[in-house]
Structures are given as structure tokens and as C-alpha cells.
Structure 1
């Protein structure tokens, strides 16, 4: 029962605020209130609407809601999401484009497991779909996974990626965003040594902490400042009775969200006060800029305790990937075994989470890879989110990534038939 009470206390506070918001919204919308034209009633209703939506979103997994894309013929292509591989801790999903006939490069987009759902990459997915046959790792919320499913740490995560790459085959191109970059690099090295025929053709690492000490940030400073005992004592709780994963030790999403919000508390406070004012004036809408951002930002998921703690200890504190000392299932992974997979790193010039220098360290670790198969890019002025979902991604990074994929074994183009030369020898 240790820490189960605190987990349920957080859920109780969230649930109570959601109820208060719903009550205020209902009371403010009551017809009798119209008899008293007092702006306070409109403010109460607006506060209730924003508050109810805010706290309700914290326990809802967002839908993908990928809009249609335009095919080569100019017709809309509907996107459907299909489960390719189902697992206890995550699924491999396929974004199938209806009536697509032309072959596209097969791409595995590895989503981060860092407190948000894979839907955080929604805009990234939509931007890649016209040019890729896209697969995405869809990690599950730990509070919904029964204790009987067992543990899930960085080694299990790595083996999930190995299994996905085995399934997709050697003609696959991998894009890893943020947190999974070091583990994706390890999974590729695992295959390079044991099953070279299953390794992907290219690997693009975006804003990942390959060597967290290469350029210190608040994240890396926190990792070194706090001991593992303190981290386990402060951050780890046991899932309460409300969810299927009751009894599982987790790093709660609500706890991480509170940390996220406190880092920019003034900015978030202003955003919500402005939204309440817009709702009171009738200017707010279901899919306005505020709701589009916070519906995703507030939707958080729990991580298993062993995954969170092993990430901090092995990736950040011990630097096992940076030192090329990472071990999976008793087997030491040698990143130098990667000799044929083209590797590209992408960093943001203003990234304050994985600062420039942390990700490009992967290229130095690939000692067996010729320089011709290495590439890197630093996007000037881009923050962490902007390197995979902002204008920097759309205008500069995505075209560079697609060029890299095509240059390293993308779908082969049909040869162009030249007209016969009548003067050529028979």
C-alpha cells in the first residue's frame, strides 16, 4: 500500500477540480442566471468550462485524428490506423493510406516515452504520410497495464524496438524523436552484430540525449544532483485502485505534469486566464489555438518505475550509451558494429532539453561507419518541440530527412527509358 494513498490523492484532487469546473459551468449556464445581467456569472461559466476541460484532459488518451492527404491524382486519401503488432507495454501501429498504389519508403517513427502519448507526434506523422509508408511505436499508459505483465525497463524497451525492426525488414528507415534516440541506436547496434540482415537502411536521431554531458541543461543537472534513492523516494508511487494497473510502481504522469507546469508557471497562468476571458466573451472555440495545444500537453501517461529509474541511472548518470557500455539481456552492445546503416543527427540551436552536442555524439560512437554515411544538422533558433513539429521541421528539417532517406536506399525509382539511338551499332 506504500504510496498508493498519494497516487489516489492526486487523482482525487484532479477529479474534484473537474467536478467543480463542471458545476460552475452548469450553474453559470442556468437560464435563471440570465435574469441577472452580471458579468460575474459569465466569468464563472467561462472559468467552469476551461477548468472542467483542463482537468478532464489529464486522464484521456488523445485520438490521432489524422486528416486526409492528397494523392498524386489529386484525390483525398483517407488515413486509417491499424495495429501491426500488439504488446503488453506498447503496439506497433501502421498508418494506412487508402488506395495508395505507388511504393513509398517504409519508415518507423519511434515515439518518446517521456510522459506524453505518441499522439504528441501527430503533426510529424501527418507531414510524413504523403511520402512514407509509416509505422509508429504507440506506448501504453503504465497505469492501465496489470502487474502480471511484468517489468518494463530500458532493456525491454530496446528489445521491443529490435522486434519491430525484425518484423518490418531491412528496407526500413528509422526516425527516433528525443528520448528513444539512445535506445534506438542501441537496438540498431544489437541487430548489426547479431542479425545484420534485419538492420534498417538509415537511422535519423532527432534531439536525443546520446551523451547528456556533452552540453549540460537543467535536465542533466537534475539527473546528476539527485541521488537514485532520493528520486525513488520522491517520484515513485503505486497505482491506485481505480485503474487496471493497481499496485504497479510508476512515475505518475500527473506528477510530471506538475513539474512541466512549474517550469513556466507564469506563461501557463497567463494562457489560462486569457482563455477564460475569451470564453467569457464568446470568442473561444472547440479547436482554437489554446485547446489544440493544451489538449495534447495536458494528456499525460504514467511510466513504469523501472523504466524511469533505469533511464535516469543508465542513460544520464552513468552515460552507458555515451561510453559505449550499454548491456541488454547480459549482452554488451557495441555501437561500433554499425557499419552499413546511414546515421543522421538533428539538433535545435535553442533546445534547452537536449542541447546541441548531445545528439551528434552518436556519430563519434559509430566508429565502424564511413564518413560518407554520416550526416548532421543543427536548426538555428529551433527549440526542442520545433525540431520535430514546428516550422523548422516543416520547412527545413523534414525535406533534409526525406533527402537522406532517398539517398540511402529509399524506394528505387523506375529507370527512365531513353529513346533508341538509330546510329548505335547493332
Structure 2
């Protein structure tokens, strides 16, 4: 009951602030006050509008907002979001474009389960839709999943990816962004050994903690300092009475959002104070840069307690992926079993979450993969977000990823005694 009370306390705090914002907006916008212009009332109106919107967004799953797409025929085609595989903790969805010829590349985009919805990759999806059939993992909010559905930890996450890859077939190119990179590598190795016909053609890992100790950051330092007992006591709560997942142990999205904001509290405070002034001066709009960013950033979801705790313990503390000691459903996964799937890593020079060195460690784990199947890239000046969204992704990284996919689209031919060694098709900066 204590954990449920804590969960509902956070929700009560959020709800109260949303109500305060709405009340301030309603009071200060009273028409009679227009006869007596007062900067204080104008500021209160702006503060109420920004506050109400901000706290309201925290419990709303953002819409994908991808409704039409202009195809080479010059026509706008509708984009249908279709569920290909439906599971209790997450779905595999496809952005289908009726009337367009099937794109030459089939891409599975593995979204993070790290507090935000898969819509965080909206701009990434839009950029890939141009010449790819795009599929993405759409993880569910743990508070909406009944306890009767059971647990969901890093092994379950990996097996979900295995099922999704099997469903899509061997002509798939997988792109994993941030948190799922180590588990996606493990899922690929799992298939390589147990179901090689279902392996994808290529695997691109973007800013993921394959080896967290390769380049320590504030995130990895925290994981090393805190004990599992401390994390369980301070970070885990049970879903309150108003949700379908009542009683489920979770790492609440609101608690994680508090941690996110505290890491850069001064910058966020400045952003909100400036937005209040823009609203006050009539310079803000419903879809301006501030609202586009924070409508997504503030929309958070709960993670199951077992997924959060097993990620910290097994990926960060024990470094099971980095040591090639990861076990899934009783089977020890060996990254050395990857022999035909091309692997590329992408890192940002100024990434303060998964610093350069953490992700490229994946290439050293693939001991049986020939060098021509390995590639790496470090994007100069890019931070964590910039390596999968924004100008760095659009102008530099995306073209490299597309070239990598094209270079590894054909099935790997079987080796013969007379076969000549191939020249490396991909530049491997880590070699």
C-alpha cells in the first residue's frame, strides 16, 4: 500500500498543478479585466496556459502525426499505421502507404523502452519513409497492463525482438536506437545460432550502451554507485487504483521525468520562463519549437520494475552483454555466432548518455564476423538526441546508414574453396 500511495501522490501532484494552471488561465482571462490592462494578469494568463499544457501532456500518449506522404508520383498518399504483431507489452507496427510501390528497403526500427513512447522517433520514421518500408516496436505503458499478464524483463524484451524479426523475415534491416542496442545485438545472436534463416541482413546500433564501462558518463556512474536494494526502495512503486495495471510494480514515468529534468534543471527552467514571455507577448503558437519538443519530452510512460532493475543489474552493473555472458530463457547467447549479419555502430562525439566507445564495443564482440561486414561512425559535434534526429541525422548519418543497408541487402553467398576475398564494403573507423 505504501508504494501505491507514493504512486498516487505523484499523480495527485501532477493533477493539482494542471488544475492550478487551468485555474490561473481562467481567472486571469476573465473578460472584465480587459478594461484594466495589467501586466501581472497577462503574465498569469501566460503562466496558466504553459503550466496547464505541460502537466496535461505527462499522461497523454502522443499521436504519431504522420497522416500523409508525398510519393514520387507527385500525389499525397495516406499513411496507415497497421499492427503486424500484437503482444501484451508491445506491438510491431507498420507504416503502410497504400498506392505506393513497395519500397526496396524493409527496416525494423527498435524504439527505446526508457520512459518515453516510441513516438520519440517520429522524425526518424518520417526520414526513413522516403525510401523504406518502416516497421517499429511500439512499447506499451506498464500501468495499463494487468498484473495477470505476468512479468517483463530484459530476457522477455529480447524474446519479443526475436519474434518481431522472425515475423518480418530475413530481408530485414534492423536499426536499434539507444537503450535497446545491447538487447537487439543479443536477439540477433540468438537467431544466428538457433534460427539462422530468420536473421536480418544488417544491424545498425545507434548510441547504445553495449559496454557501459568503455566510456563512463553520469548515467553509468549512477548505476555503479547505487545498490540494487537502494534502487528498488527508492525508484519502484506500485500502480495506483485508477489504472488497469493496479498493483503492478513499476518504475514510474513521472519519477523518471523528475530525474530527466533535474539533470538539466537550469536549462529547462529557462526554456519555460522564455515560453511564458513568448505567450505573454503573443509570439508563441500551438506548434512552435517549444511545444513540439516538450509535448514529446513530457509524455512519459511507466516501465515494469523487473525490466528497469534487470537492465541496471545485468547490462550496466554485471555487464553481461559486454562480457558475452548474457543468458536468455536458459540459453547462453554467444555474439560470436553472428557471422553473416552486417553490423554498424553510430555514436555522437558529444553524447553524454552513451559516450563514444560504449556502442562501438559491439564490433569486438562479433569475433566471427569478417571485417567487410563491420562498420562504425562517430558524428562530430553531435549529442545523444542528434544522432537519430535533427540535422546531424538527416544530413550525415542517415545517408551513411542507407549506404550500409544497400551494401548488405543481398544474401551473403556461401563460401567456396575458390572464392576470392572481398574488399571491405563499409568503412570501419574502429578497425
TM-score range for the pair, normalised by the shorter chain length: over 0.9
Partner of 1:308 in structure 2? 308
Residue 125 of structure 1 aligns to a residue whose secondary structure is helix
Cα deviations across residues 344-380 of structure 1 (Å, max 9, x unaligned)? Answer: 0000000000000000000000011000100000000
Once residues 69 and 375 of structure 2 are traced to their aligned partners in structure 1, the CA distance between those partners, rounded to angstroms, is 30
Cα deviations across residues 397-424 of structure 1 (Å, max 9, x unaligned)? Answer: 000000100110169xxxxxxxxxxxxx
Partner of 2:418 in structure 1? none
Once residues 263 and 219 of structure 2 are traced to their aligned partners in structure 1, the CA distance between those partners, rounded to angstroms, is 11
Once residues 97 and 348 of structure 2 are traced to their aligned partners in structure 1, the CA distance between those partners, rounded to angstroms, is 31
Residue 381 of structure 1 aligns to a residue whose secondary structure is coil
Q: Which deviates the most, 287-296 or 276-285?
A: 276-285
Match status 1:55 vs 2:55: yes
Once residues 134 and 326 of structure 1 are traced to their aligned partners in structure 2, the CA distance between those partners, rounded to angstroms, is 29
Once residues 410 and 3 of structure 1 are traced to their aligned partners in structure 2, the CA distance between those partners, rounded to angstroms, is 52
Partner of 2:94 in structure 1? 94
TM superposition shift of 1:35: 2.2
Partner of 1:146 in structure 2? 146
Does structure 2 conserve the Cα–Cα contact (< 8 Å) formed by 1:105 and 1:410?
Answer: no
Pairing 1:30-109 to 2, within 5 Å after superposition: 30-109=30-109
Pairing 1:21-420 to 2, within 5 Å after superposition: 21-409=21-409
Residue 3 of structure 1 aligns to a residue whose secondary structure is helix
Does structure 2 conserve the Cα–Cα contact (< 8 Å) formed by 1:81 and 1:93?
Answer: yes
TM superposition shift of 1:67: 4.8
Cα deviations across residues 12-56 of structure 1 (Å, max 9, x unaligned)? Answer: 000000001011111122111112211111111111000000000
Once residues 102 and 337 of structure 2 are traced to their aligned partners in structure 1, the CA distance between those partners, rounded to angstroms, is 34
Cα deviations across residues 249-298 of structure 1 (Å, max 9, x unaligned)? Answer: 00001011011111111111111111111111111110011000000000
Partner of 1:14 in structure 2? 14
TM-score, structure 2 normalization: 0.94
Unmatched segments (≥5 aa) in structure 1: 412-426
Once residues 405 and 119 of structure 1 are traced to their aligned partners in structure 2, the CA distance between those partners, rounded to angstroms, is 23
TM-score, structure 1 normalization: 0.95
Once residues 169 and 402 of structure 1 are traced to their aligned partners in structure 2, the CA distance between those partners, rounded to angstroms, is 19
Cα deviations across residues 50-75 of structure 1 (Å, max 9, x unaligned)? Answer: 00000000000000001533212222
Once residues 400 and 294 of structure 2 are traced to their aligned partners in structure 1, the CA distance between those partners, rounded to angstroms, is 29
Once residues 391 and 103 of structure 1 are traced to their aligned partners in structure 2, the CA distance between those partners, rounded to angstroms, is 24
TM superposition shift of 1:315: 0.1
Partner of 1:418 in structure 2? none
Aligned residue-pair number: 411
Residue 112 of structure 1 aligns to a residue whose secondary structure is coil
Q: Which deviates the most, 153-162 or 28-37?
A: 28-37
Does structure 2 conserve the Cα–Cα contact (< 8 Å) formed by 1:62 and 1:296?
Answer: yes
Once residues 174 and 378 of structure 1 are traced to their aligned partners in structure 2, the CA distance between those partners, rounded to angstroms, is 19
Does structure 2 conserve the Cα–Cα contact (< 8 Å) formed by 1:161 and 1:184?
Answer: yes
Once residues 30 and 38 of structure 1 are traced to their aligned partners in structure 2, the CA distance between those partners, rounded to angstroms, is 12
Residue 376 of structure 2 aligns to a residue whose secondary structure is strand
Residue 138 of structure 2 aligns to a residue whose secondary structure is strand
Cα deviations across residues 187-245 of structure 1 (Å, max 9, x unaligned)? Answer: 00000000000010000000000000000000110010000000101100011111111
Once residues 200 and 320 of structure 2 are traced to their aligned partners in structure 1, the CA distance between those partners, rounded to angstroms, is 23
Once residues 352 and 279 of structure 1 are traced to their aligned partners in structure 2, the CA distance between those partners, rounded to angstroms, is 32
Residue 389 of structure 1 aligns to a residue whose secondary structure is coil
Once residues 392 and 103 of structure 1 are traced to their aligned partners in structure 2, the CA distance between those partners, rounded to angstroms, is 24
Does structure 1 conserve the Cα–Cα contact (< 8 Å) formed by 2:106 and 2:132?
Answer: yes
Does structure 1 conserve the Cα–Cα contact (< 8 Å) formed by 2:106 and 2:172?
Answer: yes
Cα deviations across residues 123-180 of structure 1 (Å, max 9, x unaligned)? Answer: 0000000110010000000011111110000000000000001110111000000000
